[in-house]
Structure 1
Amino acid sequence: MLRVAAATAFVLTLSMTPVASAADTPARIDLNVLVVTDGGSSAEAFRAALVNEGVPSTVVRLADPQRPVLTAAYLADTVNSTPRAKFQAVVLPNEAPAGLAQAELDALAAYESRFGIRQVNAFTYPSAKVGMNTPHYAGQLDGTTAQLTASALGGAFRNLRGPVAIENGDPAVWEAYGYLTNPVPDDPATGATFTPYLTGVSPDGSQQGVLAGVLKQGAREQLTLNVAYNSEQAQFKVLQHGLISWLTKGVHFGHHRSYLSVHIDDVFDGDDRWSSEHNCTPGDIDCQGDVPALPAIRMNPADVTKVVQWQQQHGFKLDMYYNAYGSDEVVAAQGSDPLTTALLQNRGQFRWANHTYSHKFLGCVQDTSVVPWRCATNPDGSVKWLPKADIVTEINKNHQWGVNKGLSLQRNEMLAGEHSGTKILPQQPLDNPNYVAALRETGVAWIGLDASREPALRQVGTAQGVPRYPISVFYNVGTKAEMVDEYNWIYTSRANGGSGICEDNPQTTTCIQPLGANGFDSYIVPTQVRLGMRFILGNDARPQYAHQSNIAEERLLYPMVEGMLSSYRNTFAANAPIVNPRLSEAGTAMKRQSAWRAAVAAGKVSGYLLNGRVHTIAPSGLDVPVTVPEGTRTPGLLGLPGPLWGQAYAGERSDWRRSTGGTFTLVLPA
């Protein structure tokens, strides 16, 4: 059970229908999920999903010889003469996992019946014990599409449209094994009923059957899944919030959203172009010797027209991270810049953010006489850092340019060129202290980090660093042919004409067979869409980013983002739209999540349902996430209903509330 924080506390009270014991005595039910895991991928997926959403849980590992025994006393007790259920829901690897004694299974069954507690069997071979016949199909389900039933969509899975695609990332590998079966007929004598929730089909279409459903026996309900999965597979990520809502009957700690933000770096600037002949980028340190320069990749007015139309067509805004020097340079040389004119005419169509004036490297002074580069040093051997004055100028000059041009900016957001200023391993293991000081002086509170280097939100002086995921389209390509050529160079073996990077780094990079002329459409785009969807479905507010070169020339970014948007919108209902935060909003969401998960892990929060009310206790100052059914209201005056509470999302209401040590009351719909 979670420890209760003393002293300053936040008490949340939700009015709801009491859960009664068998004797109809009001019972206290703690807001905590019991997860029994055998270490298998399916049970572990549930454990991870609860942590991800912020739902407190107690984990019992069957392989642990010191694990507690699941007795009636472990599951329930009495507090101040009131019966207490210590767990609001139970997750098992299957209906009778090896390692649990029959007496423990009997104790769980009695506990669930007494308090009306729901159970999920994470991956089970179908049998009459869970309301299903033995399977008529057992095998691979990769690439098939399952379908949620009307019963599921009308209940906990109301956030979905119905189709659930089973992942098939690698046709050569079995990724989803499952069983198709039929329900056992309902039993009028005992009142046992089985309701299918998810149906599936074999890869050849010849077999159909149930993949998941709910067996109800009196007050006891078990949801059983017949398909294996892990926490990163799309089919589980699609279903996981609905599974949590079903388990907890829609009232639980936690907050879930589907996030997607796409940052466009280097706006107004030009990006260097990949040389297919020399397998490097002229102008970059990777190009050694006499490699001729190639025309830079830079947007033009037609590209601006396209991006405006694209945003309107897809109902999605891009974030423009601009470098004003790119505009000033062209104006100084030519007297005017058609790209600048077009972007400023459409300034209100975009969200704008500061990417520094000239994209200068803001970390140590780089010594590029060696490959890879290293930090230059002073005569005494200390690192030579870029001065604070230079960094302040880069930030302030770019911001002021944007203000003068009428761009809508937030002063506290900024992205350094190449994510510089912060540590870059192995060359620069520390943040530039002058960069940290410059952030404080310029009022920057949110900066971007490269999630491939630093995946976690972290403090950088007085600012917060927000990791951003790189989209798999290179900054130095404007055409599909260039993209495929560089992709092959990076990801194929030396024997196949590649760089061999994949051979030298087998722990992080997988070698592929060389892509053909259509490799961009047939391989690169679908691969990025699958990767991007994992982030969107993971309650993950980290932005994704590309470059202005990727919406120029052949505009390689669009099919990737379109693929993510269409995949999501074809799967999720309109009540669960993608949330599109700007950098500071994404950072705020991550900061709240991190603080809440830490408080849960440390046992500093607790909650319980008693006499139709849910009380939650947390340290003062902590943002507390709560999810409740649609129609939940704050209490009004004279006993009348007050305003709706929180935000409507996924057919529920959910929000964060700052703990103040007072009592907060919510009234659930009848």
Structure 2
Amino acid sequence: MHSRSRTVRWAARSTLSAALVLTLFAPANQAAAAPAPPRIDLRVLVVSDGGPATAAIAAELDGAGTPYTALDLTRPDRPRIDGGFLADTLDGRRRAKYQAVVLPNDNPFGAGSAEMAALVSYEKTFAVPQVDAYTYARPEVGLDHPANGGYSGSLDGVRAEVTAAGAAGPFGYLDGGIPFENNSSSVSESYGYAARPLPGADFTSYVEAPVPGTGQRGSLVGEYRHDGRRELVVGFVYNQYQQQFRLLARGIVDWMTQGVRLGASRNYFAVHVDDVFAADDRWDTELNCTPGDVDCAPGQGGEPDPIRMTAGDAQYAAEWSAARGFTLDMAYNGGGSELYKEEHGGTDPLAQRLTADRNTYRWINHTYNHPFLGCVQDVTVVPWVCAQNPDGSTRYVSRAEISTQIRENRAWGQRAGLPLETGELVTGEHSGLKILPQQPDDNPNLGPALADNGVTWLGSDNSRDRAQRKVGPALTVPRYPMNVFYNAGRTTEQIDEYNWIYTSRADGGSGVCESAPGTTCLDEPLDTVTGYADYIVPLEARIGLGHALANDPRPHFIHQSNLAEDRIAYPVLDRVLDDYAGLYAANTPLVNLRQQQIGAELRDRAAWNTAVKAGQVTAYRIGDTVTVRAPGGVRATATMPAGTRQSLLLGSQTFGSPYAGALSGWVSPALLQDRVTLTLPAGATAGAAAPDRAEPVADSAKRLPVPAGVRKRVPYGVTG
């Protein structure tokens, strides 16, 4: 919906200022007699008692880039909440310092608290919503006691449902069902209260769970309106990693910010396939190592039996990609095709098929022959070590060799007509970057070689190097390794190697799981026939989906071997995509970005979050007008209602792009503007504030139960 025009109250300057300003102007024809609307700062107040629920909401705000102030009730030196802490007057206008309030429960201060009375008055005066992060059902929050036809207890494995009101309101991005995790039969992971709204209470239930043995349902999440206030009552406890919270987090934040906030959140999933056109060494189930690779002693295992896709595998990949509507990123080694042709009469059916389907995929330079580009490896010992120069210094692969590998592979891809982004690179095994314990520093020749070849986005291993960092002219793009092994083309090989790594010595395994930090052992070895489908696939899919639901754009990577022979990667990828489709509505698709887009997203987030944490971002709303000031060169991220437009010097344009029923994205000043003006659609702002009137509130000081699986994250499986 297009709103009526607004008057621009500032003059555009010919040069950009050092600050970014988003402005949403109030209606020009507002009645002269109406009081001036207050200024509402776009910042959330999170009051915590040290529990996991408020920590989870704070983590969601952090991840989205939404500013908030944390107040820890357990600290004796904390500020006291009073009228001056919450509001003041600035430039002759009333100012509310927070657009929403998050409390650990509906009243963590107790009966007669002056702090709670100040919050009540503040919320009424400025129409500020309150989230009760985890509270128990009782009349003070608009619910009957659970003993009266409701339920209190474990919610492990329960499937909750979004109500019609929830789907029409803050949780419309969900497909309906909300499965609660049950990752361990030995650990209690969730607890909550499913209760009926109190007769006569103005309570709207958004999420409900079944009441055992009754055929009825009770509310787990709902909105309670009373005394001029709005509370989102959450009746179950959670931590930031649990799927049930991840599914509801977006709606909780959108509800409290009334759909107008800084920060944005999307669900991302991208998959890189490494070593395309090359062949991968195969795990030996007898030797428990990989002949031809560095974990086997030289000559051990005889002639390697490599794994390489066929033309039939390539055809299947293209058909799968089309059927799933999902684009794979092919990290290719052109030298692998040339080597195959030398050994097979000059033809390579795999390359012919993949290049014929070139536009089905995205393509990434993975170097020509996939050599190790860090230190020169001494593989006469296991594990390998870095070779040394005569003076005892580390011997590194040269700048010229690195540059040759990048340049020749790029040229091969261009001759094959691959649609390349030449600034993208993933080195073989992420080599050249530091790898512990053998090589604690980057190859000093890597950065200069990247500069020689115009590389700006360099893939890295998220399990070793999570933070994005600069290497020469490039920024890294951390990638999640999937636990579908590069040296397994058959299910039996995957299970055998998995058992070797994750089984104790007493059960015939390597015992690595007994000593590696953050890793636990399997209770018993996986069944050699059913173990992959019954254990590994659901575990790896759950981990991948967890990354996707955490607003994390980092890609995952597998290998071409996993698309060959038994094609063991597809069950994992299918499970992720199917599970996601069963949870989210069509307006909230998985976002599948290419490497350079992911890198840019991580870069912009880092700059924005640094500015927010440093207190360099000032943001507020006046009526339907929002202003955001940030350091020069820092792009702002925001989420706004559908229909929001960015005003230009002449005319306007749509702000952001649609996602989950809203508009979101990064925004910068337009030409000849030193600020950005966004106009909300009619009716998108909050209603008038209620009268300033405080009333007594009830005591809810009783400590609510928090299961062990919420206090400390329950691992998904043996990999933690």
TM-score between both structures, scaled by the size of structure 2: 0.88
1:378 matches 2:389: yes
Relative to structure 1, is the Cα distance of residues 466 and 512 closer, same or farther in structure 2, using a 3 angstrom cutoff? farther
Counterpart-to-counterpart distance in 2, 1:488 and 1:204:
41
Counterpart-to-counterpart distance in 1, 2:585 and 2:610:
32
Q: CA deviation at 1:209?
A: 1.1
Residue of structure 2 aligned with 1:413, choices 424, 436, 444: 424
Counterpart-to-counterpart distance in 2, 1:95 and 1:395:
59
- Counterpart residue identity of residue 632, structure 2: S
Relative to structure 1, is the Cα distance of residues 488 and 98 closer, same or farther in structure 2, using a 3 angstrom cutoff? farther
1:177 matches 2:186: no
Higher mean alpha-carbon deviation, 596-605 vs 512-521, is at 512-521
- Counterpart residue identity of residue 106, structure 1: A
Q: CA deviation at 1:572?
A: 1.1
Counterpart-to-counterpart distance in 1, 2:676 and 2:516:
54
Relative to structure 1, is the Cα distance of residues 237 and 387 closer, same or farther in structure 2, using a 3 angstrom cutoff? same
Relative to structure 1, is the Cα distance of residues 391 and 117 closer, same or farther in structure 2, using a 3 angstrom cutoff? same
Q: CA deviation at 1:265?
A: 0.2
CA deviation profile, 1:127-169 (whole Å, cap 9, x unmatched): 1111111113222111121111111111222211211111122
1:327 matches 2:337: yes
1:648 matches 2:648: no
Number of the residue aligned with 1:190: none
- Counterpart residue identity of residue 221, structure 1: R
Counterpart-to-counterpart distance in 2, 1:145 and 1:217:
30
Residue of structure 2 aligned with 1:306, choices 288, 305, 316: 316
CA deviation profile, 1:213-243 (whole Å, cap 9, x unmatched): 1101243100011111100111111111111
Q: CA deviation at 1:117?
A: 0.3
Higher mean alpha-carbon deviation, 444-453 vs 142-151, is at 142-151
Number of the residue aligned with 1:612: 624
CA deviation profile, 1:571-592 (whole Å, cap 9, x unmatched): 1111111111111000001111
Relative to structure 1, is the Cα distance of residues 257 and 370 closer, same or farther in structure 2, using a 3 angstrom cutoff? same
- Counterpart residue identity of residue 295, structure 1: D
- Counterpart residue identity of residue 466, structure 2: P
Q: CA deviation at 1:658?
A: 2.7
Counterpart-to-counterpart distance in 2, 1:637 and 1:369:
68
2:624 and 2:679 in contact (8 A); partners too: no
Consecutive unaligned residues of structure 1, counting only runs of 5 or more, are: 1-5, 188-192
Counterpart-to-counterpart distance in 1, 2:141 and 2:27:
28
Relative to structure 1, is the Cα distance of residues 329 and 202 closer, same or farther in structure 2, using a 3 angstrom cutoff? farther
Counterpart-to-counterpart distance in 2, 1:373 and 1:99:
63
1:161 matches 2:175: yes
Residue of structure 2 aligned with 1:209, choices 218, 227, 230: 218
Q: CA deviation at 1:507?
A: 3.4
Task: State the secondary structure of the residue aligned to 1:109.
Answer: helix
Describe how 1:406-485 pairs up with structure 2 within 5 A: 406-485=417-496
Q: CA RMSD in A?
A: 2.1
Residue of structure 1 aligned with 2:229, choices 220, 223, 236: 220
Relative to structure 1, is the Cα distance of residues 100 and 296 closer, same or farther in structure 2, using a 3 angstrom cutoff? farther
- Counterpart residue identity of residue 320, structure 2: W
Counterpart-to-counterpart distance in 1, 2:520 and 2:235:
33
Q: CA deviation at 1:25?
A: 4.6
Number of the residue aligned with 1:525: 537
- Counterpart residue identity of residue 381, structure 1: G
Task: State the secondary structure of the residue aligned to 1:412.
Answer: strand
Q: CA deviation at 1:204?
A: 7.3
- Counterpart residue identity of residue 141, structure 1: L
Q: CA deviation at 1:513?
A: 2.2
Q: CA deviation at 1:551?
A: 0.7
Residue of structure 2 aligned with 1:589, choices 601, 608, 614: 601
Residue of structure 2 aligned with 1:554, choices 548, 552, 566: 566
Relative to structure 1, is the Cα distance of residues 198 and 16 closer, same or farther in structure 2, using a 3 angstrom cutoff? farther
Counterpart-to-counterpart distance in 1, 2:536 and 2:519:
18
- Counterpart residue identity of residue 643, structure 1: Q
CA deviation profile, 1:395-437 (whole Å, cap 9, x unmatched): 0000000001111101100100000001111111111111111
- Counterpart residue identity of residue 554, structure 2: R
Higher mean alpha-carbon deviation, 611-620 vs 55-64, is at 611-620
CA deviation profile, 1:91-144 (whole Å, cap 9, x unmatched): 111112258971111111111011000011111111111111111322211112
Task: State the secondary structure of the residue aligned to 1:655.
Answer: strand
Q: CA deviation at 1:373?
A: 1.4
Describe how 1:527-546 pairs up with structure 2 within 5 A: 527-546=539-558
Number of the residue aligned with 2:160: 146
Q: CA deviation at 1:305?
A: 1.1
Counterpart-to-counterpart distance in 2, 1:285 and 1:615:
57
Task: State the secondary structure of the residue aligned to 1:607.
Answer: strand
Number of the residue aligned with 1:389: 400
Describe how 1:355-370 pairs up with structure 2 within 5 A: 355-370=366-381
User: Kindly, what percent of the aligned residue pairs are identical?
Assistant: 46
- Counterpart residue identity of residue 623, structure 1: R
Describe how 1:627-638 pairs up with structure 2 within 5 A: 627-635=639-647
2:619 and 2:626 in contact (8 A); partners too: yes
Counterpart-to-counterpart distance in 1, 2:347 and 2:185:
53
Number of the residue aligned with 2:130: 119
1:160 and 1:572 in contact (8 A); partners too: yes
Number of the residue aligned with 1:574: 586
1:282 matches 2:296: no
2:269 and 2:590 in contact (8 A); partners too: yes
Describe how 1:48-59 pairs up with structure 2 within 5 A: 48-59=59-70
1:251 matches 2:260: yes
Counterpart-to-counterpart distance in 2, 1:376 and 1:658:
49
Task: State the secondary structure of the residue aligned to 2:301.
Answer: coil
Describe how 1:190-209 pairs up with structure 2 within 5 A: 193-201=202-210, 208-209=217-218
- Counterpart residue identity of residue 584, structure 2: F
1:144 and 1:202 in contact (8 A); partners too: no
Counterpart-to-counterpart distance in 2, 1:603 and 1:100:
35
Consecutive unaligned residues of structure 2, counting only runs of 5 or more, are: 1-15, 683-720
Relative to structure 1, is the Cα distance of residues 571 and 16 closer, same or farther in structure 2, using a 3 angstrom cutoff? farther
Relative to structure 1, is the Cα distance of residues 506 and 636 closer, same or farther in structure 2, using a 3 angstrom cutoff? closer
Q: CA deviation at 1:285?
A: 2.1
Number of the residue aligned with 1:91: 102
2:502 and 2:520 in contact (8 A); partners too: yes
Counterpart-to-counterpart distance in 1, 2:469 and 2:21:
30
Counterpart-to-counterpart distance in 1, 2:66 and 2:357:
43
Higher mean alpha-carbon deviation, 645-654 vs 581-590, is at 645-654
2:151 and 2:212 in contact (8 A); partners too: no
Task: State the secondary structure of the residue aligned to 2:420.
Answer: coil
Task: State the secondary structure of the residue aligned to 1:396.
Answer: helix
Relative to structure 1, is the Cα distance of residues 541 and 17 closer, same or farther in structure 2, using a 3 angstrom cutoff? farther
Number of the residue aligned with 1:62: 73
Counterpart-to-counterpart distance in 1, 2:595 and 2:26:
37
Counterpart-to-counterpart distance in 1, 2:288 and 2:211:
45
CA deviation profile, 1:274-298 (whole Å, cap 9, x unmatched): 1111111111222237323442111
Counterpart-to-counterpart distance in 1, 2:425 and 2:654:
36
Counterpart-to-counterpart distance in 2, 1:647 and 1:218:
37
Counterpart-to-counterpart distance in 2, 1:310 and 1:239:
31
Counterpart-to-counterpart distance in 1, 2:377 and 2:109:
59
TM-score between both structures, scaled by the size of structure 1: 0.95
- Counterpart residue identity of residue 159, structure 1: Y
